[in-house]
Structure 1
Amino acid sequence: MNWIERGWYSASKLNFILLPLTVLFWLLSSVRKWLFKLGLKQTIQSPLPVIVVGNISVGGTGKTPFVIYLVELLRQQGFEPAIVSRGYGAEKSNDEPFPRLVTPELPVNLSGDEPKLLYLRTQCPVVIGSDRAQAVQFVKDNTRANIVISDDGLQHYKMARDIEIVLLDAKRMFGNGWLLPVGPLRELPSRLQTVDLTLINSGSETSEEQDQAKTEKEYQLAAEIAYNLLTPNLTLSTNTKVKLVSGIGNPQRFLSTALTMGYQVDDTLWFADHHQFKAQDFERFNLDDIILLTEKDAVKCRAFAQDNWYVLPISAVISKQVELKLLELINDLPKAH
C-alpha cells in the first residue's frame, strides 16, 4: 500500500496536495455522466438483461464471491447466466481479440486473474473486454446465456443495465470521503441513492457464528478449510503455521480471515492488486514454509507452485432478507430482447 492509499483510510492531510487532480477527476466524470443523461453519448441497448455488481470505491469489497453466489442463484431460477468483465491485466493478442471468451486453455496473462477464477468456480461463459456493451453482445451472439452479470462496470454508462448492486466494505466504507486521488471514491456516496441494492460486506466469521450471521448481517465472507493448490483433495489443518502471500485490493481482510479460521500467520507478503506473480516473488521463503494464497492469486501461481502451497477458498453468506430482495429484483427483469 503506497502513501496515497494509506491516506485514504487515515487522518493524513498529505493527500490534499493531489486536490487539483481530484477536482479534474470530478469535472471529467461529471461531464461524462451528463453527456449520457442528455443523450449526447449513447447508452447501447442490451440484447440481454444485465445485472451490474460494482462499487463506488477503489479496492476489494468482496465482489468475486458475491458474483459466484449470484450465478448460482440465477441458475436456481432457471436462467443461464454469463459474466462480463473488463479483464484487468489481460494482455492484447492478435490471435485472441477482445471481446475474448475465457476458456480452460486460455492462459491467465490473456484472461486476467479474476475472470479466470470466475470461470473455474462457475463454469459459465466469461467474456472480457474494456467495452462491456460489446462484450454483452458477444455473449448474445456466441453463447446460450440469457442473462449477464457485469463484474464491476457500475461507471461504464455505455452499457445498459437492468439492476445495479453496489458492495461496500464495512471497515473501509468511503475512506476519507473524497474522490480519487485524494480519496478512494470513484463516485460520491449520493450515487447509492440511485442503485437497486447496496450491501455491506461485514467480513468473515467463524463457522459457529455463520448461521446467526445469515439472519443478522446482509453480506459476509465465509472461509472454508484451505486446500492444496496442486492436489485439491488435500486440506490444511487449522492451527498450522503459514505464510500469507497476496496481490489483492484488501489484503488485511485476507489476514483477518486466515486468523479467524485458526491459522497461525507468522509472515505476510503483500503485492499490488492484480500482481502478475512469478517464482522469484517467493524467494524469501524456505522450501518447507507453508504458503497460503487467495483463490485469485492461486490461478496465477499454478505453473511454479510447490507441494506445500495452499489456497483459502471464500464464499458469500447472504441473509434471507437480502436473498428475497434479490429474487424480487430478478423476477421483475425484462425478457431477453
Structure 2
Amino acid sequence: MAGKGNQTPSYWYDGSPAPLPMRLLSPLYGLVSGLRRRLYQRGWRKRHSLPVPVIVVGNITAGGTGKTPLTIALVQRLREAGWKPGVASRGYGREQASQPRWVQADTATALGGDEPVLIAWKTGVPVRVDADRVAAGRALVEAGCDVIVCDDGLQHYRLARDIEIEVIDAQRRYGNGLLLPAGPLREPVTRAAACDFRVVNLGTASQEAAADNCGFGQWAMTLQINTAQPLPGGRSRSLQQFAGQRVHAVAGIAHPQRFFQMLRSRGIGVVPHAFADHHAYQRQDLQFGSELPVLMTEKDAVKCRGFATDWHYAVPLQADLPAAFWVALTDRLEKLRAG
C-alpha cells in the first residue's frame, strides 16, 4: 500500500534510459552550473566569509542522502565539545520563503521548513532559515554562535566555507551518473573529490560491515533505530515491542523504502505508505481504515503533531560514525579556531 508516490524519476536509478529531452537538457544544465562555480573559484563573483568556522553538510545529488541525521549528530557533538553551534538553512519548500525566520521546536513546518524544525526540535540550538545563507550565518554569529553548520548548501558558493562534508546514499550512490534533469547530479562526480569529508550512509548496517563498503577516503555512517516516541508525548517504547506485529509505516522522504526496510529489519510487519518528499500532511492522510500503530520518520512527525493520537509514533534516527571521524573533524576545527 502506498500514499502519494515519491517524485524521483525512476530512470535516475533503475538503469532505464533517460528520455531524450532530459538528455538534451543535461549539457545545458552542466554549462550553467559549471560557469557559476568557476566564477566563484576565480574570484569574479565574491565569496563572503564569516568570523567563525563554517561547516557545510551537503551532497552533489538531488534528493535526500541522510544529511539531516548527520547535521543533528554533528551539532550534538559540537555542543559536547564546548562549541556553540548554530544551523543555517534555506528551509526548502516553506511559505514566505523570502522572509528570514528564526526556527523553534514549535514553529509550523509550513513556515520553517521540515528539516529546520526537526533540527530545532532535536537539538535546541539556534536555527535560522534564509534564502541568503550569508545573512543567515551573520545572524547566527550575532546570536552568539561560534561555529555555523549549514544543512545543505554545498552549491551555495556565495558563502565561504571552511569544511565541506559530502553525504552519499550507499544504495543509490550517483545513480546513472548524469547531470540534472537526465540524472540526479547537481554537479559532476569529480566535484566530490574537493570535499574535506565524504560520508557514506549505509543505513542499518553494522559499523564493521559499513567500513567494508566504503571507498578510499570515505567514512561510514550507519543509522540506528531503537525506540518509538508517541507524538502526543509520554514514555517512549522499544521497537522490540512492535516485533511480530503489523504497523502502518509512513515516510515522506526522498527514499522512503530505506525507512520501511529499517523497520522490517527489526521484525516488524510493515504496511508501507510512501508520500512525496516534503509532503504537507493532513489528518486524513493518516486514516488508513484499520487500528494499527502508525510509525513514521521524525521528519514526518514534526508535521503531524497537531492532530496525532496515541497510536502515532515518531521513530528517532541516530547517526553513528567512527570515533576517528569525530577526532579528525574536531582537530580541523580546533586548528581553525587557533588561526
Equivalent residues of 1:4, 1:15 under 8 A apart: no
2:74 is paired with a residue of what secondary structure?
helix
Residue 228 of structure 2 corresponds to: 226
Equivalent residues of 1:4, 1:181 under 8 A apart: no
Read off the aligned partner of 2:109 and give its amino acid letter: V
Equivalent residues of 2:6, 2:277 under 8 A apart: no
Gaps of at least 5 residues in structure 2 are 213-218
TM-score by length of 2: 0.90
Residue 148 of structure 2 corresponds to: 148
> C-alpha distance in 2, partners of 1:213/1:317?
13
1:262 is paired with a residue of what secondary structure?
coil
> C-alpha distance in 1, partners of 2:131/2:255?
23
Cα drift, residue 4 of structure 1:
5.9
> C-alpha distance in 2, partners of 1:35/1:67?
28
Equivalent residues of 1:49, 1:334 under 8 A apart: yes
Residue 161 of structure 1 corresponds to: 161
RMSD (Å) for aligned C-alpha atoms: 2.0
> C-alpha distance in 2, partners of 1:71/1:103?
15
Say if 1:2 and 1:70 are closer, same or farther in 2 by CA, change over 3 A.
closer
Equivalent residues of 1:221, 1:314 under 8 A apart: yes
1:42-61 map, 5 Å: 42-61=46-65
1:257-336 map, 5 Å: 257-265=262-270, 267-283=271-287, 285-286=288-289, 288-334=291-337
Residue 241 of structure 1 corresponds to: 246
TM-score by length of 1: 0.91
Question: Does structure 1 residue 107 correspond to structure 2 residue 111?
Answer: no
Say if 1:310 and 1:104 are closer, same or farther in 2 by CA, change over 3 A.
closer
Equivalent residues of 1:48, 1:146 under 8 A apart: yes
1:83 is paired with a residue of what secondary structure?
strand
Equivalent residues of 2:252, 2:279 under 8 A apart: yes
Match of 1:70 among 74, 78, 103: 74
> C-alpha distance in 1, partners of 2:234/2:200?
31
Cα drift, residue 280 of structure 1:
2.2
> C-alpha distance in 1, partners of 2:52/2:234?
36
Which deviations, in whole Å up to 9, do the C-alpha atoms of 1:69-111 show, x marking residues without a partner? 1112212221100001111122118xxx732111244222111
Equivalent residues of 1:66, 1:316 under 8 A apart: yes
Read off the aligned partner of 2:64 and give its amino acid letter: G
Say if 1:3 and 1:167 are closer, same or farther in 2 by CA, change over 3 A.
closer
> C-alpha distance in 2, partners of 1:163/1:286?
48
Question: Does structure 1 residue 256 correspond to structure 2 residue 258?
Answer: no
Read off the aligned partner of 1:191 and give its amino acid letter: R
Question: Does structure 1 residue 170 correspond to structure 2 residue 170?
Answer: yes
Gaps of at least 5 residues in structure 1 are none
Read off the aligned partner of 2:185 and give its amino acid letter: L
Cα drift, residue 3 of structure 1:
8.0
> C-alpha distance in 1, partners of 2:104/2:199?
31
> C-alpha distance in 2, partners of 1:4/1:231?
34
2:166 is paired with a residue of what secondary structure?
strand
Residue 119 of structure 2 corresponds to: 118
Residue 216 of structure 2 corresponds to: none
2:153 is paired with a residue of what secondary structure?
coil
Cα drift, residue 17 of structure 1:
3.1
Say if 1:28 and 1:232 are closer, same or farther in 2 by CA, change over 3 A.
farther
Cα drift, residue 214 of structure 1:
8.2
Read off the aligned partner of 1:29 and give its amino acid letter: S
> C-alpha distance in 2, partners of 1:14/1:189?
18
Question: Does structure 1 residue 32 correspond to structure 2 residue 64?
Answer: no
Equivalent residues of 1:243, 1:292 under 8 A apart: yes
Residue 203 of structure 2 corresponds to: 203
Match of 2:96 among 79, 92, 98: 92
> C-alpha distance in 1, partners of 2:73/2:128?
18
> C-alpha distance in 1, partners of 2:20/2:233?
49
Say if 1:78 and 1:256 are closer, same or farther in 2 by CA, change over 3 A.
same
Q: How many residue pairs are counted as aligned between the two chains?
A: 326
Cα drift, residue 333 of structure 1:
1.8
Question: Does structure 1 residue 17 correspond to structure 2 residue 17?
Answer: no
